[in-house]
């Protein structure tokens, strides 16, 4: 099986490196700049203190000449990297039998992929991992969890999905086949808008927010608003799932910041529109009042506007 990973960043790079170390045929589609870094340093993963170095196979988008069996999208959708441009890049890699596994947060990208390549080729996916790129471009895993959840959009466990799980289940990863992947994706979306929303509004790690009066209440409000949008879209989250999100975001001992907030702190483009803007527009379409999510979205839009103005000078 030939695997193409779009991106060699914190998520796609981590899982792709694990697969490549285990002998799977993995190629990373990267920019020319990232290709130079990988050629000089290798694909380095600092995994809970243990460092590994892989000499990866890379390709530029314009040099893709044949379809792959599996295309994994391990990149973010930001103002600086629009999703539509990524689809043009991977198009030569998608053949009649290619499966596409997106690991982006949110759900809007699934509909776009369905329209471009056909829903029969598109799986749903969720990456449960806390990783980042350090200043050298190395991947650093900051927590023990490294789980990839995927499944067929209609639900259930098809034969091809079971076979894919077997092939991708290698040391260093936990590959889970979901029979309700869209529900899992909504769960992750609400989790991210809750935790990232806290970081953005309070400009602090989750633990510091949870440690003061009103912090846990804000977490619950964000989770409830996100869950109301999921329910309106036909994916009602269980109370257990909601409480798990609230409990995580309300732990005063948790010094965690989200990748979206780390991008904001670095002055980089964020997933704000892809995560919060789309959730807000979905809420409005259903006539829902989500004032806290609206405030987070406004905050991020002001930030992106400031970035645009700074770039124009």
pLDDT in tens, 3-33: 999 988 889 999 999 999 999 999 999 999 9
- Cα 141 to chain center, whole Å? 15
Q: Residue 153 in contact with residue 102, Cβ under 8 Å?
A: no
Position 276 pLDDT exceeds 60 = yes
- % of the chain surpassing 70 pLDDT: 99
Mean pLDDT of the chain: 93
pLDDT value for 80: 65
User: In this predicted structure, what is the pLDDT of residue 79?
Assistant: 64
- Summarize the confidence of residues 229-258 as an average pLDDT: 95
Give Rg (Cα) of the chain: 19
Q: What is the pTM of this model?
A: 0.91
Span 184-312: which CATH code? 1.10.1040.10
Q: Which fold is adopted by the domain 2-179? A: Rossmann fold (3.40.50)
Per-residue pLDDT tens digits for 110-168: 999 999 999 999 999 999 988 888 888 889 988 788 899 999 999 999 999 999 999 99
- The CA–CA distances, whole Å, from 297 to 141, 196, 238, 270, 279 equal 28, 11, 25, 11, 9
**Confidence class for position 71, pLDDT limits 50, 70, 90:** very high
Domain limits, the chain: 2-179, 184-312
Which residues, at least 6 apart from 135, have a Cβ–Cβ distance to it below 8 Å? Answer: none
Of 198, 208, 209, which Cα lies nearest the Cα of 261? Answer: 198
């Amino acid at each position: 099986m030939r695997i193409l990973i779009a991106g060699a960043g914190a998520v796609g790079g981590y899982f792709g490196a694990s697969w490549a170390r285990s002998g799977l045929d993995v190629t990373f589609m990267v920019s020319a700049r990232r290709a130079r870094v990988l050629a000089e340093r290798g694909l380095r993963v600092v995994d809970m203190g243990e460092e590994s170095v892989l000499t990866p196979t890379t390709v530029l988008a314009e040099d893709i000449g044949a379809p792959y069996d599996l295309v994994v999208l391990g990149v973010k959708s930001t103002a600086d990297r629009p999703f539509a441009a990524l689809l043009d890049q991977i198009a030569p890699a998608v053949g009649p039998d290619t499966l596409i596994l997106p690991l982006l947060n949110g759900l809007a990208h699934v509909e776009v992929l369905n329209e471009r390549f056909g829903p029969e080729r598109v799986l749903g996916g969720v990456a449960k991992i806390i990783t980042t790129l350090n200043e050298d471009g190395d991947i650093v895993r900051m927590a023990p969890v490294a789980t990839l959840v995927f499944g067929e959009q209609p639900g259930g466990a098809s034969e091809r999905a079971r076979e894919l799980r077997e092939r991708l289940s290698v040391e260093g990863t936990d590959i889970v086949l979901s029979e309700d992947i869209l529900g899992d994706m909504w769960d992750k979306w609400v989790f991210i808008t809750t935790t990232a929303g806290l970081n953005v509004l309070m400009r602090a790690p989750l633990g510091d927010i949870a440690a003061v009066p009103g912090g846990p209440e804000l977490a619950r409000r964000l989770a409830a608003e996100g869950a109301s949008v999921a329910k309106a879209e036909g994916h009602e989250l269980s109370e257990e799932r909601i409480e798990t999100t609230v409990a995580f975001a309300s732990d005063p001992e948790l010094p965690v910041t989200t990748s979206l907030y780390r991008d904001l702190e670095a002055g980089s483009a964020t997933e704000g529109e892809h995560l919060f803007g789309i959730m807000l527009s979905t809420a409005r379409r259903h006539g829902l009042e989500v004032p806290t999510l609206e405030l987070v979205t406004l905050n991020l839009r002001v930030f992106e506007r400031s970035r645009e103005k700074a770039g124009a000078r």
